[in-house]
């Protein structure tokens, strides 16, 4: 056997080396994939919690500034850009519970579960209430939002606001 034949036989990887590399890549993937999924849910929780707080703030500010309560879906979207964008992306649903009450529901799109309701109750003649109430959504996103956004009630009467 010449020196040249010996070099040709040693080129490349052995089967054991390839199996070892594949096992290491598999272990790294098994650790990384669940962490990436959790990061995605965390982003959804933060986005929804921020949207709820921003919508509540936009609505109360606009109601005080105009001394009017939004009484239609179009008026609610006009009062809050956050709600208007959420309706377009199907993250938010607006319904009418009564003639003076509008319910804005924040939805976890992946599970289809409603997480929180933002309820505007009142007409243009008196006290207006903006409440945040937890829905019975059982998804991880809804539970995360529930931990970040507490159920609250804001009462607006004239130019006074009570939290």
CA distances from 128 to 22, 70, 92, 154 (A): 63, 11, 21, 8
Q: What are phi and psi of 133, to 5 degrees?
A: -130, 140
Per-residue model confidence as pLDDT tens digits over 19-37 = 999 999 999 988 888 887 7
pLDDT higher than threshold 80 for residue 150: yes
How far does CA 153 lie from the centroid of its chain?
Answer: 21
Is residue 15 classed as helix, strand or coil in its secondary structure? Answer: helix
Contact, 154 vs 131, CB < 8 A?
yes
- The packing angle between helices 140-148 and 15-66, to 10°, is 50
Q: How confident is the model at residue 40, as a pLDDT?
A: 82
Q: How confident is the model at residue 128, as a pLDDT?
A: 86
pLDDT higher than threshold 90 for residue 129: no
Domains of the chain, residue spans: 14-162
Per-residue model confidence as pLDDT tens digits over 39-98 = 888 888 999 999 999 999 998 888 888 878 887 888 889 999 999 998 988 888 888 877
Q: Please give the model's pTM, rounded to 2 decimal places.
A: 0.73
Which residue from 107, 122, 115, 108 is spatially nearest to 153, judged by alpha carbons?
122
Bridge partners of residue 93, in order along the sequence: 105
Instruction: Classify residue 29 by burial, with Cβ atoms within 10 Å: 0-12, 13-18, 19+.
Output: exposed
Contact, 94 vs 104, CB < 8 A?
yes
Contact, 129 vs 122, CB < 8 A?
yes
How far does CA 42 lie from the centroid of its chain?
Answer: 9
């Amino acid at each position: 056997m010449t020196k040249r034949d010996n070099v040709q036989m040693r080129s490349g990887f052995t089967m054991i080396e390839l199996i070892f590399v594949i096992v290491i890549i598999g272990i790294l993937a098994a650790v990384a994939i669940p962490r990436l999924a959790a990061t995605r849910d965390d982003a959804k929780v933060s986005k929804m919690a921020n949207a709820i707080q921003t919508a509540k703030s936009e609505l109360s500010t606009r109601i005080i500034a105009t001394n009017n309560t939004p009484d239609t879906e179009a008026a609610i979207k006009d009062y809050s850009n956050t709600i208007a964008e959420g309706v377009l992306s199907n993250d938010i649903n607006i319904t009418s519970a009564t003639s003076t009450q509008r319910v804005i529901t924040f939805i976890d799109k992946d599970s289809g579960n409603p997480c929180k309701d933002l309820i505007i109750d009142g007409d243009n003649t008196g006290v207006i209430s903006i409440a945040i109430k937890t829905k019975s959504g059982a998804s991880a996103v809804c539970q995360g939002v529930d931990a970040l956004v507490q159920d609250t009630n804001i009462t607006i009467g004239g130019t006074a606001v009570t939290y």
